[in-house]
Structure 1
Amino acid sequence: MFEAFVAGLLLITVSELGDKTFFIGVILATRHRRSLVFIGVVSALAAMTLISVMMGRVVSLFSPTVVHYAEIALLLAFGSQLLLKGWRMADEPCAEACEEAMETITQSEQVLIKRPTNLAVVLQAFGLTFLAEWGDRTQIATIGLAAAKNPIGVSVGAILGHAICAAIAVIGGRLIAGRLSEKTLTLLGGALFLVFAATATANGV
């Protein structure tokens, strides 16, 4: 269980910093009460984690050998993709993810009233974060981890990782965002996926 907890925590904490969902939290926190944004973002990420873990448990019903090698292949694919992408990047702040987040928020605010209620802010943060995270590589990786490791450990670790990233985003994200190197984070994420692949291979079925 502890191994699953650590794997979920590290996977999410490293992968989510500088991601689109991170910048959604950063930008919303500059426009609305931070506590409301935090509640909405963390609730969405926790819900997504639980859905992913349940999907992982369904996958675990397949042959353990198939699940094991599928997990390794998935981790290797993500790791290699991120390393290649990071290698080709210029070493600069996370501009692309920030622009995507800004565009998403701008579109959503066209249907909001000028002075949204507290509930509207929470729902906006929840909805934007949930949609941005759906189909993301961290969701797929969480499904893979939950299929091969203790689901409770993965759930607790991943939710804690999300909460840490969300707290960083809403409290000091604007200051930190300008210092985050997209190249470094991408390379670090890729290396982490490869480490998980190596660990899974060493542990066997």
Structure 2
Amino acid sequence: MLESLFVPTGIVALAEIGDKTQLLALLLAARFRRPWPIIWGIALATLANHFAAGALGSWVASLFSAATLAWILTASFAAVAAWMLVPDQLDADSEESILRQHGPFVATLITFFLAEMGDKTQIATVMLAAQYPHLLMVVLGTTLGMLLANVPVVLAGHFSAERLPLTLIHRVAAGAFVLLALYAGWQAAQLSGLV
């Protein structure tokens, strides 16, 4: 059960570094200079978004045999590993109109929820929920991973994400997804009777 919490926490924390939502956290911190409403907005938006993604992953897992699901997970983890090597960009102009209209909590809640739609960490949450049987632990883990990556950025708004070795971090995250793909592939081969 703890694996359903700790693996998603680590995977999402790594995947989030340099992600567009981390850049959004930096933008919100610089704009509002009020960290706690931003942190609460990130937490609630991530919980809502990742719970929906996790529920989708659990549902998809129920549609396929264990072997088929393992092959799908293998391909998905490999695809996300490649995707991790492509850095995200933040479209600041589209986010600016929401920032002008609302305070830090509402602006963060809305922009983070929307920014996570179709994001790497949301896709990872779908896949992790399909792989691990404890949906709530997966969602708590992915949310904790998101907070581990974003809270320091919010609290130290002057610390720029560009100062981090993003290329190395993206490669480490890609490597983690490759390991998950290999593990899922090994499980798929076993379930298919290939090994």
Q: What is the TM-score of this pair, normalised by structure 2?
A: 0.85
Secondary structure (helix, strand or coil) at the match of 2:31 reads coil
1:24–1:101 CA contact under 8 A, matched in 2: no
How far off its partner does 1:176 sit?
Answer: 4.4
**C-alpha separation between the residues in 1 aligned to 2:56 and 2:38?**
27
Map of 1:67 onto structure 2:
69
Secondary structure (helix, strand or coil) at the match of 2:62 reads coil
**C-alpha separation between the residues in 2 aligned to 1:71 and 1:64?**
10
Map of 1:12 onto structure 2:
12
**C-alpha separation between the residues in 2 aligned to 1:34 and 1:80?**
33
Map of 1:104 onto structure 2:
94
RMSD over aligned Cα atoms = 2.0
Map of 1:45 onto structure 2:
46
**C-alpha separation between the residues in 2 aligned to 1:72 and 1:131?**
27
Match of 2:114 among 115, 131, 155: 131
Q: String of CA shifts for 1:18-62, please: whole Å, max 9, x gaps.
A: 111111111111222111111111211111111111111111112
**C-alpha separation between the residues in 1 aligned to 2:31 and 2:151?**
16
**C-alpha separation between the residues in 2 aligned to 1:42 and 1:108?**
18
Q: String of CA shifts for 1:170-190, please: whole Å, max 9, x gaps.
A: 112431413123322221221
Give the number of aligned pairs: 186
1:29–1:37 CA contact under 8 A, matched in 2: yes
2:15–2:84 CA contact under 8 A, matched in 1: no
How far off its partner does 1:196 sit?
Answer: 0.9
Secondary structure (helix, strand or coil) at the match of 1:18 reads coil
Map of 2:149 onto structure 1:
165
**C-alpha separation between the residues in 1 aligned to 2:47 and 2:83?**
26
Consecutive unaligned residues in structure 1, runs of 5 or more: 86-93
2:28–2:108 CA contact under 8 A, matched in 1: yes
Q: What is the TM-score of this pair, normalised by structure 1?
A: 0.82
**C-alpha separation between the residues in 1 aligned to 2:17 and 2:110?**
19
2:47–2:140 CA contact under 8 A, matched in 1: no
**C-alpha separation between the residues in 1 aligned to 2:39 and 2:83?**
31
Tell me which amino acid in the other structure corresponds to 2:140.
Answer: V
How far off its partner does 1:153 sit?
Answer: 2.6
1:14-33 aligned within 5 A: 14-32=14-32, 33=34
Map of 2:84 onto structure 1:
82
Map of 1:90 onto structure 2:
none
Q: String of CA shifts for 1:63-108, please: whole Å, max 9, x gaps.
A: 222211101110012213434x4xxxxxxxx7x63xx253333233
Q: Percent identity?
A: 25
